Structure 1
Amino acid sequence: MKSILITGCNRGLGLGFVKALVRDRNPPNQIIATCRNLDNAKELQEIANENKNVHIILLDVTQTETFPNFASQVEEIVKDDGLNVLFNNAGCSPKSTRINFVNTEQLVDTYLVNTVAPILLTKALLPVLKKASEVNKDLPLGSSRSAIINMSSILGSISANDNGGLYPYRCSKAALNMATKSLSIDLQKDGILVTALHPGWVKTNLGGPGAPMEVESSVKGCMEVIRHLSEKHNGALYQWDGKKLEW
């Protein structure tokens, strides 16, 4: 892939993906990384200063009215090549989410970040995604042509839910899974692959210190999945090691 855009890169998995991509034996020509505040993204800035192919763009995914202007900034970077991969990685999860403690603000705010933002950002970036697909029309569906990856979670799987609770996060990711399926149908005619990816339970701010996986391990596995995306992945949910998960 010549270009990839990753949201939420100031820390955690987003930052981990940027680190892995710049070290890759065949790194993308353009790595576009977003963050909300440069003051909280010192390490990301250091990476950008050392790698000319890394571009930082400020983006608060809750401010959906800024998406058209953001899309214009992306177009200025990728130009006539278009955008090969949109990775909707930014996400959030409130802490106390058992039924006795969940509230309206938690539900609405989480849905905005985890579901509404990826849908509307995809909408805003469709022109550059379609451009990449057209430029690479001789290639099969995949990340080398044009792909949208939505960072989901097994916690959004209805069939795998055997613990209950986590209402804001579970419901928002289940909704994102539905959006992934619909987008995969709507955009297949344009040669754009859409899939959902579960990174595992990872030691990040969201996953917590007790998670069993390190960021590096999750990122390494996810990158292999992304590299080998094909038509079979379209409209489905896969985890970091390539295993297909049930909705």
Structure 2
Amino acid sequence: MKSVLITGANRGLGLGMVNYLIKQNKAQNIFATCRKPSEELNQLAQQNKHLHILQLDVKNLESFNDVSSQIGKVVGSDGLNLLMNNAGVTTKFTKLPLVKAEQLLENLTVNTVAPIMLTKSLLPLLKQAAESNSDKPVGAQRALVVNMSSVLGSIAQNDQGGFYPYRCSKAALNAATKSMSIDLKKDNILVASMHPGWVKTDMGGKNAPLDVETSIAGIFATIEKLGEEDSGKFLQYDGTELPW
């Protein structure tokens, strides 16, 4: 891949993705967006000239076109090969009597609205990548959008209830993934939702069974195998297909 954009890259899974791509030498240009870069992300950027940190609050939808313009100046006619819509928020386990409208709205804005609108802003760059790599099969080498979802967004597997803000936002993101996969098929842009597993991060908590490195290695191994027939699927980090 020539270029990758990762949102929410200052910690957790996003930072793990940046580390993985650098160590594995998997991308010529890595764009890492976050509200405020962590010390570790800044150090990585100082050591790697191909890592570009872009300030972005995904709730500031009006800034997306500017971010797209900044990326475009770096990648030129090569476009953007891989968009990882990773930035997300969650709320604690919430039963119906305790759910708050502001929680629902924040989760929907960050987890659903932002990935849709950012993909829209970056669409010209994704199309450029798909066109400039027309000799390659549909997938990450050409143009791919990965929406980082969650098994909690699976309606079929919901046997616990609760988690209204997070579940609803991720189920809606999955619906967006399916529509994107249909709308962008003619442009040879593949789109998939991915569940990273339950990972030891600030969001996942210390009781999670997976470490960041295992999840990230699985995510990118799965990404590299994705083909045209996988567009619109909901996949786990290890490639297992999940029910909607």
Shared fold, TM over 0.5: yes
Equivalent residue number for residue 3 of structure 1: 3
Equivalent residue number for residue 211 of structure 1: 208
Equivalent residue number for residue 158 of structure 1: 155
1:96 Cα deviation from its structure 2 partner: 4.5
Helix, strand or coil at the partner of 2:221: helix
1:126 Cα deviation from its structure 2 partner: 0.3
Aligned residues: 244
Do residues 34 (structure 1) and 33 (structure 2) align? yes
Given residue 2 of structure 1, which amino acid in structure 2 is its aligned partner? K
Equivalent residue number for residue 134 of structure 2: 137
Aligned counterparts of 1:50 and 1:140: Cα–Cα separation in 2: 33
Equivalent residue number for residue 19 of structure 2: 19
Equivalent residue number for residue 177 of structure 2: 180
Equivalent residue number for residue 225 of structure 1: 222
Aligned counterparts of 1:45 and 1:236: Cα–Cα separation in 2: 34
Aligned counterparts of 1:97 and 1:110: Cα–Cα separation in 2: 13
On the 8 A contact 1:96/1:102 being kept in 2, the answer is: no
Deviations 1:163-196 (A, max 9, x none): 1100000000000000000000000000100000
1:27 Cα deviation from its structure 2 partner: 2.2
Aligned counterparts of 1:177 and 1:105: Cα–Cα separation in 2: 22
Equivalent residue number for residue 84 of structure 2: 87
4+ residue stretches of structure 1 with deviation over 6 A?
none
Identity over aligned pairs, percent: 55
Given residue 15 of structure 1, which amino acid in structure 2 is its aligned partner? L
2:113 corresponds to which of 112, 116, 133: 116
> What TM-score comes out, normalization by structure 2 length?
0.98
Given residue 21 of structure 1, which amino acid in structure 2 is its aligned partner? L
Equivalent residue number for residue 144 of structure 2: 147
Deviations 1:125-176 (A, max 9, x none): 0000000000011212100000000000111001011111000000000000
Helix, strand or coil at the partner of 1:47: helix
Equivalent residue number for residue 101 of structure 2: 104
Helix, strand or coil at the partner of 1:245: coil
Q: Please tell me the root mean square deviation across aligned C-alpha atoms, in Å.
A: 0.8
Equivalent residue number for residue 68 of structure 2: 71
> What TM-score comes out, normalization by structure 1 length?
0.97
Helix, strand or coil at the partner of 2:98: coil
Deviations 1:40-66 (A, max 9, x none): x11001001101111000000000011
Helix, strand or coil at the partner of 1:208: coil
On the 8 A contact 2:93/2:162 being kept in 1, the answer is: no
Aligned counterparts of 2:127 and 2:222: Cα–Cα separation in 1: 22
